[in-house]
Structure 1
C-alpha cells in the first residue's frame, strides 16, 4: 500500500513539473528605458514573462491591487483598505468568478495560469517582498476577483453604494467628470494625403496607483505582437497596437449603473414586495479585518441581496445597486481577443462579446479603417421611469436583464470627414457633422452624454481648420495645450471673467488683466496661465452657489480673484507667478515645471504639494502615437515618469524630461531592431 501511495505521489510531482512553464523558454529584453519586450513560443509563456517583468517593476503595487480584490487590503493598510474589502464582498466577486469560470476561453485560461505562475515564481524567489502571505499563491480566480472590483468601480457603481451608505442619493453626483478624462483621435489617409493612417493614444489616468500605466511589448509564435500599456496585475495589454491595428479608450458616461428603492413589507422583517409578491432579502456579513496599531481587528458588516442585486439599508430605506459589470467575468478575455485581432472584422467580433461594461473606443488599422464607438454593456430599460434617479424596486418592469447589441450603440466607421475623436464628451459629436451618430436614434434611457467640453471644442476646431493633417500637424494637435475661446467647461461658465472691467476692481486689477490678456496657452513660462491656474483651484468653494445655468457672477469671481491674489502673495511673495512655478511634475527628488491644466487637450490636474505648489496627480499618463502604412506600423510613446515604480531603478524617472518637453521614444515590432538597442536580455528566473 505504501508503495502505491508513493508511486501516485511521484506521478503527481511528475505531472506538476510537466504542466509548469519552463522559464528558460522565455526571453525578456529590456530596452534603454526599461520597457520589457517579452518573447516566447506561446501566449501563456509570454504571460509568465510579463508577470515576472511586472513584479520586477512594481510588485508592491500589484500586490496591493490583488489584496483589494480579495478582501485583504484592510489587513495591510488599515481602515483605508476596508472600503475596497467591503465592495468586493458586496458584489460577491468570488461567487461570480466561481460560477462563470467555465465561460472563459480555454486558451485564455492557459494565459491566466501562465501569468499567475510567473507571479508566484517571483514571490517564491523574493519572499521578503511579500506583503501578506494569505494572498499567495495567486490564482487565476484571485486575479479575476480584482478585475470584478475594478470594473464595478469604473462603472461608477461604487459612488452609488457610497450614496446609500451616506444617505445622499442625489444627482448629479459628479461635477467635474470630464476634466481629468482622456482623448482619442484617428485620422484616415484622405486627410493625411499619404499612405499613412494615424492613431493617437492619449490617456489621462492617475500618474500613480493601481490604474496608472505600465508599458510592454508582448510577442509569441501564436500570433501576438503587441506594444502598449496596461494596469498593474493585468495579464494582457489594455491599449496599444499590433502590426495590423490599434485602439485606445476614453471613459464614457452613459447610464451604466442604477439604484432601486425596495418596497418593504409593512410588518415582516427583511421581506420586500415585487408586483405584490413577497421576497426575503438574502442576508450576508462581510468579513473585514482592519489593521490598527499592528493588530488585525475583525469587523463584520451586514449587507443583503435582492433580485435586483447587492442591497444596503440606510435611514431612508432599503436600496439595491445593479450594474452590468457584475454579470460576466469576460472583460479581460475580450481585451485579449482585441490584442489578437488582425483586421477590423476580427476586432469588431471581439467587441460583440459585450464583456467591457463601458469605455469609448478609437481604432485605426493598416487598411485605413478608422472607427469610433461609445462602447458598453448598456441595459435595455423600461420606458416611463427616470433612470437618472432612484427607480422603483417593486416591479419586474424595472428589473432589466437584456442589453443592447454592439451594433445598436453610437459609432462611426470610415467617415467622409477622415477623422474620429473623443474627449469624454458626446458620442453624437465624434466626427464631422455629416458623419455623426444622431441622438434621436438612441433611447434617452441610455443617457449618453450630450455636452461638449474644452478639449472636445478645441480638438474639433484643430481637426477641421486645415484639410491636410500630416504627421507633424497630427502631433501638434495631440500636444495642443491651449484653451478655446470662449471657455467651454461642461460644469461651469467662467466667461463673465473676461467681461469684467479691471478699473472697477483696482485691488485685483493686475491679476485680472494678466488673465484677460493671456493667450490661453498653458505654457510653464506663462504668467497668465499661472494666474488662471491658481484662480481655477480657488473656485471650488463657489461651485455650490452657482445657479442652474452654472454661470459665475462678477461678485463671485471678484471674491475668487481676491483669494487668488492673497494665495500668490502668501506663497510666492509677489503678484505674478508662472505656471511652471505653481505646478510641478514630481517623483522622488526630481521636480520639473509642467504644462497643462484641467480640460486642455494635454490635461493636467494636481493636489497641494507644499509651499503653495501643486504636484500633478492626474493627466497625460501614457501616450502612444501610431502610424499605419500598408507594409509597416510605426509606434512611438512616452510615460509620465518611467516604467518602474522602484525608486532605486534608473527607470523610476527617466522619461520625465521627454514627457515634459513633448517628446517620445521609438518602439519597434521588429525583433532585430529591438535587439539593436537592448540593454539586458534574460530569462525570468
Structure 2
C-alpha cells in the first residue's frame, strides 16, 4: 500500500512526458465552452485540466491548497482552520490506505489530469498562488475529493458544532436541487425528457463548470463538474443522462467517549481502557509580507474516528468518506455507461457517499436511487442522536450493498423527480416506496418541501407533457398553496391587516401576492424580508409555533426595513434581489424553495445578492433515433476571468430563462468552433 503511494508520487513527476499535447484538441464553441477531444481517455483528462485552468485556475488551486494543507500559507490565519480540519480528517492517511483499491485504468485518468494541471502551472508560473504548491500529485486529487465530499456530507458543520459544544448533529438547510425525468409514454413528442438542475453556489469551489469530453475509447459526455474534477459529475452522453440532488439520510455518526476520571486521554471500550492517539498537526501560516510562521495543534483519534473535546466531554465521529476514495472513479464509470444495466453496475460500487440520482435514457428507461454509502448499523441503538462510545459492538463493520438502497425503475406513472425531498416520494403515490421496507437505521427521511409539493401540483395537471410544458415546470417560481418553510409562514396570510397598524399596507401586499417569485413581484420581496427577520430571532421564538404578536412584529420589521433602505413600501423582488457579476447588478427572481430557486445574502443598502440556486441548467430530450437534443445555460459564462468575453456572456440567456443548443457531435462542434488549439 505504502509502496503504491510512493510509486504514484514518482509517477506524477514523470507523467508529463507520457502526454503529447499536440495530440489533444481543445475546441471552444461560441460560448467558450471547452470540448476536449483526444484518442485516449487520459489524454482527454489532460486537456480538461488545461482548459479548466485557463478559465478558473485560482479556484482549482484553492481546492488543491486545502487538500495539501497549504491554505494557511495562502490566506494566513483565516486559512489555518481549513488546514487543521484536513489534518483532523486524516485525508492523506485515508488516501494512502485505500489507493490500492482504485482501478488502475482510472489511475491513468488521474495521471492525465494531474499532468495537465502541472503543465499549465509550469507554463503560467505567474498565476501560481503559493510557491511549492506545484507539482500536484495524484494523491492530492484524491485528497481534495475526500475533503470536498466530507464537506458535502456536513463534516464542516459537524466539527464546528462539536467544538462549540453543540453535541447533537444539526442538519444544514438545503439550498435545493431539482431532477425530473419523464418517460416517452408521458410526452406528446414521444421523446424522453430529463432536467438536470442542481442548485449550487454561483461561484467558488462548488460552482458548476461545463465541459464536453470526447475520446476514441467511447467517452462522449457533456455536463457539469466542480473545480479539480477530472470527469463529468452529471449530464448526458449519447445514450443516457442523470441529475444529482443532495439527499438526507444518516451520514454522520457521533459517539460520546467515556473518559477516565483521573488519567488524561484514556477512554473506556467494553472493559478496557484505551489511549487516545495524539498527533501534532503542523500548520504554516502567512502573517505579514509573506512571512510564514509554524503552528502546531493537537488532534486526537479513537477507534470510533477523529475526536473533538469540548466542555461536555470528548466526542468521536465517523463518516463513510473515511473508508472510500473511489467516488471520482465511479463517476467516470457512470460517464462511460451505455445503458441502465451498465449504469447500475457502476452504482454498485457505492463509492459516491451520497446524492440522489434521477436517470433517463434513449431506451425509455427511468431510474431513481437515494444513493449513498450507508453503514450497516446495530439496530439496538438509537442512531438519530449521540451514541455511547464505550461499546465495541456498536461500531459498524460493513456498508449496505447497492440493492439495499431505496430505488425505483420505470414507474408506471411515467415520471420520476427529486427536489431534495425524502426518498419515499419520487413519483406517483401508487409507485412510491414504503419506509417500512427499509432498514430504519439508514436514516432516510420521509418528508416533502415546497418544491416537491409544487411539482406534484403541476405534474398532476398533465396526462402528457409537451416540451414547453416541461420547461414551464422547470422554470416555475410559484410557491405551493400551503408553505412548509422551516419557520411556519402560513399564519401571515390570515392576519387581520387592520391590526397591523402602520404596517397594514405591507401585510396587504403579502396577502394579495400570488406567490410567484418573479422580478416584478412585490409580495416576494416582502415575504423574504419577513422570513429573514424571523430567522434572525429564531433562537428566541418557537419557529413552529410563532405567536400572533411575533408575526405582527415581523410584518412591521418589513415596513421599517423597506422605508429605511428604499424609502417606499412597494418594492419589487428585482429591486431587492440582484445577480452580481463584476461591477454589474441585474434584477433576478426566485426565492428559497421555489422550483426555480434562489438563495441570497445581504450585500448592503438593503439589497441581497443571489448566492446559491439556479446555476448550471441542462435540459435534454432523447428521441428514439439519433443523438440527444441538449440545451444548457450556466449562470455567468464559461470563464471566471474578468477579461474573458465568456465571463458574463450567458447572463442574458440565464435571466430570460433561455438556453443555448449543445451537441455531442464533435464534428459539428469543430465546424462551428470559435477556436481550436492544443494545450501548450
The TM tier, using the shorter chain, reads over 0.9
Counterpart-to-counterpart distance in 1, 2:34 and 2:330: 23
Q: Tell me the CA shift for residue 167 of structure 1.
A: 1.4
- Deviation for aligned residue 1:492: 2.2
1:262 equivalent in structure 2: 257
Check if 1:593 corresponds to 2:590.
no
2:91 aligns with 93
Distance of 1:483 and 1:131 partners within structure 2: 44
Counterpart contact for 1:155–1:256, Cα < 8 Å: yes
Unaligned runs of 5+ in 1: 1-11
Structure 2 partner of 1:274? 269
SS of the equivalent of 2:384 reads coil
- Counterpart of 2:171 in structure 1 is 174
Q: How much has 1:537 moved relative to structure 2?
A: 2.1
CA contact 1:533–1:579 (8 Å) conserved in 2? no
Q: Does 1:481 align with 2:486?
A: no
What is aligned with 1:602? 596
TM-score by length of 2: 0.96
CA shift for structure 1 position 551: 3.2
With over 3 angstroms needed to count, the CA separation of the structure-2 counterparts of 1:289 and 1:232, relative to structure 1, is same
Report how many aligned residue pairs link the two structures: 668
Secondary structure at the residue paired with 2:537? Answer: helix
**SS of residue in 1 equivalent to 2:278:** strand
CA contact (8 A) 1:157 1:321 kept: no
2:77 aligned to which of 79, 83, 98 = 79
Cα deviation digits, residues 402-441 of structure 1 (max 9, x gap) = 1111111111110011111111111111110011110111
Answer whether contact 1:25 1:40 (CA < 8 A) is retained.
yes
Q: CA deviation at 1:133?
A: 2.1
CA contact (8 A) 2:500 2:556 kept: no
User: Corresponding residue for 2:7?
Assistant: none
Post-superposition offset of 1:19? 4.7
Distance in structure 2 (CA, Å) of the matches to 1:292 and 1:671: 49
Question: CA offsets, 1:314-373, max 9 Å, x none?
Answer: 222111110111101101000000001000001001111010111111100011111111
| d(CA) in 2 for partners of 1:33, 1:503 | 54
What's the offset of the Cα at 1:543? 2.4
Are the structure 2 counterparts of residues 440 and 574 from structure 1 closer, same or farther at C-alpha, using a change threshold of 3 Å? same
2:400 alignment partner in structure 1: 404
State yes or no: 1:471 paired with 2:470: no
**Alignment partner of 1:563 out of 557, 561, 567:** 557
Counterpart of 1:220 in structure 2 is 215
SS in 1 for 2:27: strand
Other-structure match for 1:61: 59
In the alignment, which of 167, 183, 200 is matched to residue 188 of structure 1? 183
Unaligned runs of 5+ in 2: 1-9
My pick for the range that moved more, 42-51 or 287-296, is: 287-296
Deviation at 1:24, TM superposition (A): 0.3
For each residue in 1:444-487, what CA deviation from the matched residue of structure 2 results, as whole angstroms up to 9, or x when unmatched? Answer: 22111222111110011111221111111011100000011121
Equivalent-residue separation in structure 1 for 2:534 and 2:192 (angstroms) = 41
Instruction: Give the equivalent residue in structure 1 for 2:515.
Output: 520
Query: 1:5 maps to what in 2?
Result: none
Aligned to 1:580: 574
Secondary structure of the structure 2 residue equivalent to 1:211: coil
CA contact (8 A) 2:477 2:517 kept: yes
Q: CA deviation at 1:554?
A: 1.9
Structure 1 residue 546, shift from structure 2 partner? 3.9
What does residue 665 of structure 1 align with?
A: 660
Determine helix, strand or coil for the equivalent of 1:551: coil
- 1:152, 1:323 within 8 Å by CA — same for their partners in 2? yes
Cα deviation 1:85-110 (Å, max 9, x = unaligned):
11111121112212221211111111
Counterparts of 1:643 and 1:193, CA distance in 2: 33
Query: Aligned pair 1:316/2:312, yes or no?
Result: yes
Distance (Å, rounded) in 1 between the aligned partners of 2:45 and 2:255: 41
CA distance in 1, matches of 2:500, 2:473: 37
Mapped partners of 1:18, 1:579: distance in 2: 51
- 1:287 aligns with 282
- The change in CA–CA distance for 1:127 and 1:500 in structure 2 (over 3 A counts) is same
- 1:9 is matched with none
Show the counterpart of 1:624. 618
Q: Alpha-carbon deviation of 1:541?
A: 2.1
Contact persistence 2:235–2:618 (CA under 8 A):
yes
* Aligned position for 2:18: 20
Q: Is the 8 A contact 2:15 2:115 kept in 1?
A: no
Deviations 1:516-545 (A, max 9, x none): 000111110112222222222222123234
Q: Does 1:651 align with 2:646?
A: yes
- Whole-Å separation in 2 of the counterparts to 1:340 and 1:132: 36
Q: Counterpart in 2 of 1:3? A: none
Judging changes above 3 Å, is the alpha-carbon distance between structure 1 residues 16 and 404 closer, same or farther for their aligned structure 2 residues? closer
Moved more, 533-542 or 299-308: 533-542
2:614 match: secondary structure: strand
Residue 369 of structure 2 corresponds to residue 369 of structure 1: no
Structure 2 SS opposite 1:134:
coil
Q: After TM superposition, list the pairs within 5 Å mapping 1:22-421 onto structure 2.
A: 22-171=20-169, 173-174=170-171, 177-178=173-174, 180-294=175-289, 295-421=291-417
SS at the partner of 1:434?
Answer: helix
Whole-angstrom CA distance in 2 between matches of 1:18 and 1:317: 50
Q: Residue 639 in 1 paired to residue 662 in 2? A: no
- Separation of aligned partners in 1, 2:546 and 2:230: 47
C-alpha distance in structure 2 between counterparts of 1:501 and 1:395, whole Å:
57
1:426 is aligned to 422
Shift of 1:16: 5.1
Q: Distance in 2 between matches of 1:157 and 1:258?
A: 11
Q: Deviations over 1:9-29 (max 9, x none)?
A: xxx99x958952000001111
Alignment match of 1:530 (pick from 516, 525, 533): 525
CA distance in 2, matches of 1:629, 1:224: 20
SS at match of 1:458: helix
User: Aligned with 2:615: secondary structure?
Assistant: strand
Counterpart check, 1:553 vs 2:553: no
Distance 1:188 1:542 in 2: 46
How far did 1:74 drift? 1.2
Kindly provide the CA deviation profile for residues 90-142 of structure 1, in whole angstroms up to 9, marking residues without a partner as x. Answer: 12111221222121111111111111101111111111001112221011111
State the SS of the aligned residue for 1:528: helix
CA 1:17 to 1:324, structure 2 compared with 1: closer, same or farther past 3 Å?
closer
Within 2, Cα distance between the matches of 1:676 and 1:531?
50
Residue 289 of structure 1: SS of its match in structure 2? Answer: strand
Query: Cα RMSD (Å) of the superposition?
Result: 1.6
Matched position secondary structure for 1:338: helix
Within 2, Cα distance between the matches of 1:156 and 1:17? 35
Per-residue Cα deviation, 1:599-622 (whole angstroms, up to 9, x for no partner): 100110111112111110111011
Give SS of 1:183's match: strand
Contact 1:160/1:259, CA 8 A, preserved across alignment: no
Contact 1:494 1:551 in 2 (8 A): no
